[in-house]
Amino acid sequence: MIENVPKEYLDDILDTLPFEISFIDANESVRYFNKEGRREIFQRPASVIGRSVQKCHPEKSLVAVNRILYEFRSGKRDSAEFWIDLNRKKIYIRYFAVRSRKGEYRGCIEVTQDITKIQKITGEKRLL
């Protein structure tokens, strides 16, 4: 629940997360992304806001992007995940349908994270 939190605080909170987030609305337009000017994986210029998400992906991936969006809109699917090797890093990309509490499709978020170091974790490290 959010109550009286200034937008700047929300931006700071989302920028602190250890991954990159983009929000695509129900009309398939990019409406938000975090870490402006500080992204390490997929750079986003401010001019991407309002642009069709299809114009932000390589042509070879458009069939998959459009299928995922269609399945999110239709309710057939709520998430999708991919991983790629990029510049000697393992990049984990997840998409999640965003729905109202009544189930109305609002759009989706793309979460991108460098998991290279995470994959190397073994054993356990406890807080106490």
pLDDT in tens, the chain (128 residues): 678 888 888 888 888 888 889 999 999 999 998 866 566 766 677 788 899 998 888 889 899 999 999 999 999 999 999 999 999 999 999 999 999 999 999 999 999 999 999 999 999 999 87
User: Would you state the pLDDT for residue 128?
Assistant: 79
Tokens of 13: 């909170």
Domain containing 95 — which CATH number? 3.30.450.20
Q: Is residue 99 part of a domain?
A: yes
User: Would you state the pLDDT for residue 36?
Assistant: 67
Q: What is the tally of structural domains in the chain?
A: 1
Nearest to 69 by CA among 107, 101, 104, 42: 107
Q: Is residue 37 part of a domain?
A: yes
Look up the domain containing 43 and give its range: 7-119
Q: Is residue 128 part of a domain?
A: no
Q: Is residue 77 part of a domain?
A: yes
Instruction: State the Cα–Cα distance between residues 115 and 54, nearest whole angstrom.
Output: 25
User: Would you state the pLDDT for residue 40?
Assistant: 75
Tokens of 37: 């000017």
Q: Is residue 126 part of a domain?
A: no
Predicted TM-score (pTM) of this structure: 0.86
Q: Is residue 124 part of a domain?
A: no
Tokens of 90: 């393992």
Beta pairing partners, 82:
93
Q: Is residue 127 part of a domain?
A: no
User: Would you state the pLDDT for residue 88?
Assistant: 93
Q: Is residue 1 part of a domain?
A: no
